[in-house]
Amino acid sequence: MNTFLMAANWKMFKTRDEAYQTLTELGKILQTAPKNRDVAVFAPFTCLSACSEALSVCPFVRLGGQNVYPAKDGAFTGEISPGMLVDCGCSMVLTGHSERRSLFKESDAFVGEKTAFALKAGLSVILCAGETLEERDAGGLKEVLFRQLEAGLEKVDDSISPDRLSVAYEPVWAIGTGRVANEAEIVEAHALAREFLVSRFKTAGDKIRILYGGSVKPENAGAIIGLDNVNGVLVGGASLKAQSFADIITA
């Protein structure tokens, strides 16, 4: 497995024009994805169509939604279906981001519903998992990771193609804090995630990409993707500017 997945999570930032401009600029800087790099951008729903238009000048980017509801359609005010994401040009979606878990009270089981439903609907999924500082300090890293991965993947087909599913390890205490996990902490958590994936999906579990997320920047991205079992990064703040994200992609 040597193609890294370099993913941007724009969270609740950017108007349509700003999103279009950022991708246009990224396309000018990079023209094409560097060797061994897949690139994805998870943009706000309102920007997806504008991003999709920008793919004519930035064709190497795959688009994704930051959230999805596990139903084809229905009376779910404020929610969005996999088909609606596809209609806006998406081929990917995030599930289980810690901001969804903590701020919007998404349970492990609900994250599992979303993950399985989105995969069945044809989207590729990055399932996010990670512990809070309290959980880490209480020695709960393995328990939390395994619990979130177990529930998050419970309803996923055993035969899922490993290029359609990735896991992002995102320690909550490293997200948006500037405090990146150190190399030993990343290696330990990714080895645990790999152990879980191999026990769950057998040989395919070795091929599922495990991304690191939490204060990734151009200065640390190269070292991070050089670590064992790190197959890419999920980047928030440092992905908002085209040059900064380009520097991470090429790190």
The residues annotated with a catalytic role in the active site are 97, 170
Minimum CB–partner distance for residue 99 and ligand PGA (Å):
7
- Find, among 3, 146, 148, 10, the residue nearest to 67 by Cα: 10
Q: According to CB under 6 A, which residues from 7 to 26 bind ligand PGA?
A: 9
Across-strand partners of 127? Answer: 95, 167
**Concatenated DSSP letters for 60-95?**
TEEEEES---SSSSSS-TT---HHHHHHTTEEEEEE
Shortest spacing between CB 31 and ligand PGA, in angstroms = 25
For the bound state, the minimum distance from the C-beta of residue 48 to ligand PGA, rounded and expressed in Å, comes to 18
Q: Among 57-65, 82-90, 102-110, 208-216, which window interacts with ligand PGA (CB under 6 A)?
A: 208-216
Nearer to ligand PGA, 210 or 216 (CB): 216
What six digits make up the tokens of 107? Answer: 């349970």
Residue found under tokens 């579990």:
205
Beta carbon nearer to ligand PGA, 215 or 231: 215
3-state secondary structure 167-212: EEECCHHHCCCCCCCCHHHHHHHHHHHHHHHHHHHHHHHHCCEEEE
Query: Looking at 44, 213, 218, 232, which residue binds ligand PGA (CB under 6 A)?
Result: 213
> Per CB under 6 A, which of residues 84..103 are in contact with ligand PGA?
none
Interacting residue with ligand PGA among 175, 193, 225, 251 (CB under 6 A): 175
Question: Binding string, 224-243, against ligand PGA, x = CB under 6 A?
Answer: ----------xxxxx-----
Write the secondary structure of 212-240 as one string of H (helix), E (strand) and C (coil).
EECCCCHHHHHHHHCCCCCCEEEECHHHC
- Residue choice 15, 59, 107, 176 for contact with ligand PGA (CB under 6 A): 176
Cα-flanking dihedrals φ and ψ of residue 35, to 5°? -55, 140
Q: Does 171 bind ligand PGA (CB under 6 A)?
A: no
Binding flag, residue 145, ligand PGA (CB under 6 A): no
Site for ligand PGA in 63-82 (CB under 6 A): none
Q: Nearest to ligand PGA by Cβ — which residue?
A: 236
* 137: Cβ contacts below 8 Å, ≥ 6 apart: none
Residues contacting ligand PGA: total by CB under 6 A: 13
Cβ closer to ligand PGA: 100 or 194?
100
Q: How far apart are CA 120 and CA 190, in angstroms?
A: 26
d(CA 38, CA 32): 10
Give the interface with ligand PGA as residue ranges (CB under 6 A). 9, 170, 175-176, 213-216, 234-238
